Amino acid sequence: MNLVKTTFLSFISTVIKLLSGLAINKVVAVYLGPAGIAIIGQFQNFSQLVMTLGQGAMNAGITKYTAEYGKDSEELPQLLATAIRISFFCCLFVSVVLISFSSFLSKEVFDSENYGFVFVTFGFTIFLYVLNTLILSVLNGLKEVKELIKVQIIQSVYSLIFTCGFVYFLGLTGALIALVTNQSIIFLVVLYRLRQNGLIKFTYFKGKFNRIIASKLFKFSLMALVPALATPISHFFIRDYIISNLGVDEAGYWQGMWYISSMYLMVITTALSTYYLPRLSEIKCNLELKAELKGGIKLIFPVVCCMSLGIFILKDFIIWLVFTNEFSPMRELFLWQLVGDVLKVTAWLFAYLFVAKALARQYIFLELAFLSVFILLSIFSLNTFGLIGMTYAYAASYTLYLMAVSFLVWRKFS
């Protein structure tokens, strides 16, 4: 399946996910307001970090080596058996920490000890999330795009019903419960579908632990853990800085703008993770890599430009549709945030080469350098220009990131 077909199928899945997300966000905005959006954003950053740690940050590695080994290879059962054992121990550690330090985490994340039960619930359900992501990573590596898209659509519809119902009846508490329990039901759906079509044999997971494969996965874990740790931490810091200097509502506006960016860019990011990573992983020739990269730029760059332009033109309608009139100050954030989005996606096209070829040192250096620059520029711009300065910092940071990653790709693969 080529990039065009994958992008089209990803578009269908993403539209459904987008509509589901819009409805969820609208309910949260109406019932909880800007402050509620900021609080949920804070918890989402935390849960993103926890979930990455819980599955050992191996998703990209599992996808890469599944694609590289192939469905009928002798190495695939060893890969899956090794991956599930690593995931189990990582998940067990994270689960114990969440349950044991629930009150402390509640105080740190929410500035209140009233939400300790959320972290306890998270600790008991995270293993289901880990199994779910592992299996989906294998499906991605096997290029079972249609099945992967079906599961994603089911997940979106379920999340819509489940989350909106909990927010309506339980408010902020319901939203938090929904965030930490969605993965439980989705895993049961994935398990049922796999039993029906037989794409993955569960006997594969009973094989022996392979140290060589484990070391390969560890390299991918490092590449995933650095941004997984650094990005939420940087967002925690920046959000707290906005709250301290401008107020919690302003933090909610900034969080809302990030939400819009992440939602419409899902079309691109889903296509890249579904098609690009396994495709680049199996290519051995540099000339073929260049051709694939050029093809991706020719397709993705115009698409993201058109999408960003459409978002900018419809910004007032989008604020009304996704949020409420309380969020109208967000409109000044759109222009440079969208410019940053275009630069971000273009840079990702290059950066995926580092992930696909397991170039850990270069990738980790780029990510840490970018996040450091982003934080410093964010503080400077916020103090100089106010909240709109956050979008200046975002666009400027990704300009530098794009320049750096394209230069390194040219040097490495020329």
Q: Is 77 in contact with 204 (CB distance < 8 Å)?
A: yes
Which range in 135-149, 265-279, 322-336 is most confidently predicted, on average pLDDT?
322-336
| Sole residue written with tokens 């971000």 | 344
Average pLDDT, the chain: 81
Q: Which pLDDT score is estimated for 199?
A: 60
Q: Report residue 240's pLDDT band, with 50, 70 and 90 as the boundaries.
A: confident
For residue 92, what pLDDT band results from cuts at 50, 70 and 90?
very high
**Residues 6+ away with beta carbon under 8 Å from 33:** 252, 324, 326
Are 267 and 345 contacting, i.e. CB atoms less than 8 angstroms apart? no
* pLDDT tens figures, 6-40: 656 666 777 777 777 777 777 777 777 777 777 77
**What does the alpha-carbon distance between residue 217 and residue 83 come to, in Å, rounded to a whole number?**
8
Q: 376: how many CB neighbours lie within 10 A of its CB?
A: 12
State yes or no: pLDDT of 166 exceeds 90. Answer: no
Q: What is the pLDDT of residue 195?
A: 67
Mean pLDDT of 265-284: 72
Above 90 in pLDDT, residue 160? no
If you average pLDDT over residues 142-165, what whole number do you get? 78
Confidence label for 382 from pLDDT (cuts 50, 70 and 90): very high
Confidence of residue 392 (pLDDT cuts 50, 70, 90): very high
The number of beta carbons lying within 10 Å of the beta carbon of residue 403 is 12
| pLDDT at position 51 | 83
pLDDT score of 263 more than 70: yes
pTM here is 0.68
18-21: list long-range contacts, CB under 8 Å, 24+ apart: 18/263, 18/264, 18/266, 19/156, 20/156, 20/157, 20/159, 20/160, 21/156, 21/263
Range name among 137-151, 195-209, 213-227 with the lowest pLDDT average: 195-209
Q: How many CB atoms within 10 Å of residue 177? A: 20
Residue 259: pLDDT band with limits 50, 70, 90: confident
